[in-house]
Amino acid sequence: MLLTSAPTASADYVRDQQWVLDVFAMKDTWAETQGEGVTVAVVDSGVDATHPDLAGQVLAGKDFTGGGNAHEDKMGHGTVMASIIAGHGHGPGNASGMMGLAPKAKILPLRAIRTEKDPMHDETWAAAVRYAVDQGAKVINMSFGNDGGKTLSDGRAAIAYAQAHDVVVVAAAGNDGSIAVDEPAALPGVVAVGAVDKSGNRWDGSNTGKGLTLMAPGVEILGADTTRSQQYSLSRGTSDAAAFVSATAALVRSKYPELTAGQVINRLVKSASFLGHKGLKAPDEEYGYGIIRPRQAVTMDIPVGPKKNPLGQLTVATPPSSEASEKTAPATQTSFRSLVVLGGGIAAVMVVGVIAWVVTRSRRSAGSGPGSGAGTPPHSYGYPPHPSAGYQYYPNTPPQQGYTPGQAPQHPNPYAQRPPHQGQ
């Protein structure tokens, strides 16, 4: 079986929301590796290391926004990404709470933005990327995009620097539903990630087009989120999908430490599958090389392949110094509102027992095309406002009403199918 076909029952309502663990057969995968010895840098809004599901996993990191603390996360987005990658649960046997795909990987939090209203400058996140490389990170997760704009010289130089130092760089493709992958995901050598739903179908908000590399789950994704009174949230978007790919890269790097970044990417690509989507030829503009399969990525007999990155290499003649990269960039550069991929840019508060979804599909207020329009409130691009009242705290919650992961699926589970890998 590629993946298990049905979720198992659990007394923990938070763990029950993690349908991804079941369809990816993560218990079997963790018997092979749990990401030990690998550091994943999360260039984001910071990571709250106080969440019990991340205790001991988060390194000191660095704040690039101006003298702050990398462990402060006012938005919650960076903490969600970190938990998808390296959450380890809590309680007896870690049986409660959030589990990431690589629970023994370390998280290097690199704060490049404070609030959703702040601009996300290329110079700022570029300095974070270079710092991640210098600190020994082997995977860099960038769950943000620039809304169709081009990456400036600082950003390009930083990514080139990472690639030249054997680092796997993963970025979100974008949440506009556009036929164009956002940069920096679209840059040569970067693993550009789109989102699929539980049925293995492309989420309609996921960007498509040339340069798309892989697909990963990005709908109804649980994450640890200390900005919520319940400490967890559910979200959707390519942001979450990118974090799953970064976690899978960490698993591969842990299992095969001798492989280069290019050879790791080769395993991710060769182990992916189009699953039930017939007639596609890789790279497909909607599904890239297919949907990730973590277990296959660490167990399949795949030739090592060339050391170079199969997705190409970004080269820059004269990269800027780290000191120059830390300067504040002009406000006309990339805005963090383009971090639509921020927790998906579309998120919902998870109340264990009753889940309140707040789904926003609007584009940026200054944008154009379907779903756009002036006057869209700023929070539409990130997490919605906190609920006013009526929600209970985890873990003192009643049995969940409505969606129950333990129920039999109402349609054939595409993750349980066994088609041949397409487009190798």
Look-up of token digits 């842990």: 254
Residue 146: how many CA atoms within 13 Å on its side-chain side?
A: 18
> Does the annotation count 44 as an active-site position?
yes
The torsion defined by the Cα of 212, 216, 220 and 222, in degrees rounded to 10, comes to -120
Q: Which residues pair with 107 in a beta bridge?
A: 40, 58
Residue among 51, 71, 77, 88 flagged as catalytic: 77
Residue among 233, 239, 273, 338 flagged as catalytic: 239
Q: What is the 3-state secondary structure (H, E, C) of the chain?
A: CCCCCCCCCCCCHHHHCCHHHHHCCHHHHHCCCCCCCCEEEEEECCCCCCCCCCCCCECCCEECCCCCCCCCCCCCHHHHHHHHHHCEEECHHHCEEEECCCCCCEEEEEECCCCCCCECCHHHHHHHHHHHHHCCCCEEEECCCCCCCCCCHHHHHHHHHHHHCCCEEEEECCCCCCCCCCCCCCCCCCEEEEEECCCCCECCCCCCCCCCCEEEECCCEEEECCCCCCCEEEEECHHHHHHHHHHHHHHHHHHCCCCCHHHHHHHHHHHCECCCCCCCCCCECCCECCECCHHHHHHCCCCCCCCCCCCCCCCCCCCCCHHHHCCCCCCCCCEHHHHHHHHHCEEEECCCCCCCCCCCCCCCCCCCCCCCCCCCCHHHHCCCCCCCCCCCCCCCCCCCCCCCCCCCCCCCCHHHCCCCCCCC
The β-bridge relationship of strands 96-99 and 88-90 is antiparallel
> Does the annotation count 239 as an active-site position?
yes
Instruction: Report the distance separating Cα 70 and Cα 91, nearest Å.
Output: 26
Dihedral sign computed on CA atoms, order 113, 119, 125, 127: negative
Residue among 12, 44, 122, 176 flagged as catalytic: 44
> Does the annotation count 246 as an active-site position?
no
Instruction: Report the distance separating Cα 184 and Cα 40, nearest Å.
Output: 18
Catalytic positions, written as ranges: 44, 77, 239
